[in-house]
Structure 1
Amino acid sequence: MGLPCPARQCVTNLERAGDEARKVAKRLRRIHESGETGTINTTELRKSGELALMILRRALDAFARMGAVAAGQIVRDDEAVDNSFHAFGRRLVMQMTEAPPTIPVGLEYMFIAKAIERIGDHATNIAEFVVYVVKGRDVRHVSLDRLDKEVLAN
């Protein structure tokens, strides 16, 4: 007998988040082996990674507890990961334009940033599914204001 649908949905997104984490590890190893670790400022990328990990942990907690309110907050928090990804990308493009020798390592970091952003997306998918299971409402394509109403509705 297979997993119940909510568990299968969670496991699929968790597996995909793991695939993204593997991509991050492989690219970081490549950067380390190239010796180019200090050419790009990665402070905001680290913060973005920590935020994505925190959101994923909270999504799993919301799933375990079937907490719709906590899940709704996760959907909101993923916006911060998305904003961080876009800001890092803009800054990275400017840096690569000004210093072309940084392009190879810059591209590696861009792929890392995208993988981190996707981890946040998978956490959001889990959270949205929790809202669906608990509230019976599909909140995948609703505004944040509408999401709040759906989560708090009886």
Structure 2
Amino acid sequence: MEKVGLEKHTSKQFDADLEDVRELVLSMGGLVEQQIADAVRALVDGDGGLGEDVVRGDTEVNRMEIEIDEECTRILARRAPQAGDLRLVIAIAKTITDLERIGDEAEKIGRMATHLASYERPKSAFRQIETLGRHVREMVRDVLDAFARLDSESAVHVARNDEEVDREYEGIVRQCITYMMEDPRTIRHMLDVLWAVKALERIGDHSTNIGEYVVYFVEGKDVRHIGLEAMEKEIAKSMRPRGDASASD
């Protein structure tokens, strides 16, 4: 399959339908990104009220997933899209599933923030959580930008950032274990912290998934499960000039 972008069709309504559903995805992504920011802020600041707001906000994320999914179904039924158009609809359907799951992870962090609001918080650990939260939020923003610009190279870059997220997550886990060993009285609420941190790590994974869907649409290649290095090679191969003899290697 060849690399594609958004093509113009003889039916202007078809173009409008595709653009509308893309805009809905970006709106859903913006909402999810704000959910992450609010959830992390609630956790770090011990703001139980804000945590409850995040939990309630997940209802809107779920509603948007249903709306976009129904719109994708209508496009498939009415337009019978082919080639790049079909890949776009499939990529959107998969993307909103991961966005909804990111929303679920943000809701989980909001719940943990509410539970932990009255507990003393180790400043160093929560500073690291704030940093991790900022990084995963940037991953979501960057992959949505790649989706908007149909930029497969940037989508792969998001996957590379997930390696740093994993390292930060492991460092926070080690620190939480140290706190629990030093003071067993902290075990109960430190376990809640670990659940919240794991949710942040999962958001990074879901962002990577969305990046793979961008590559699938733009490049026409399914790069799931092939590993980061292989994914980067696939993108580099697709960017070679058509006359480059090495492209057939």
Range with greater deviation from structure 2 (131-140 or 12-21): 131-140
Structure 2 length as normaliser, TM-score?
Answer: 0.58
Q: Letter of the aligned partner of 2:109 in structure 1?
A: V
3-state SS in 1 of match to 2:95: helix
**Partner SS for 2:221:** coil
Distance between the aligned counterparts of 1:126 and 1:145, measured in 2? 17
Q: Note the 1:4-153 alignment, pairs <5 A.
A: 4-32=89-117, 34-38=118-122, 41-153=125-237
8 Å contact 1:13–1:123 — kept in the other structure? yes
The SS at the match of 1:139 is coil
Higher RCO structure, 1 or 2 (CA under 8 Å, sep 6+): 1
5+ residue gaps, structure 1, are none
> Deviations for 1:101-125, whole angstroms, at most 9, x for unmatched residues?
1111211110010000111111111
CA contact (8 A) 2:125 2:175 kept: no
Q: Rate the CA distance shift 1:35–1:93 in 2: closer, same or farther, 3 A.
A: closer
> Quick one: which amino acid aligns to residue 110 of structure 2?
A
Task: Indicate the larger mover: 70-79 or 98-107.
Answer: 98-107
Greater shift in the superposed pair: 81-90 or 115-124: 81-90
Q: Distance in 2 between matches of 1:119 and 1:20?
A: 7
- Rounded to whole Å, the distance in 1 between the matches of 2:91 and 2:225 is 19
When the two structures are superposed, what TM-score results if normalisation uses the length of structure 1?
0.92
The structural deviation recorded for 1:39 is 7.1
Count matched residues.
153
Percentage of pairs with the same residue: 37
Contact 1:59 1:123 in 2 (8 A): yes
Q: In the aligned structure 1, how far is the partner of 2:165 from the partner of 2:123?
A: 23
Structure 1 Cα separation of the partners of residues 174 and 164 of structure 2: 15
For structure 2, list consecutive stretches of 5 or more residues without a partner in the other structure. Answer: 1-69, 73-88, 239-249
Q: Residues 143 and 7 from structure 1, CA distance in 2 versus in 1: closer, same or farther, beyond 3 angstroms?
A: closer
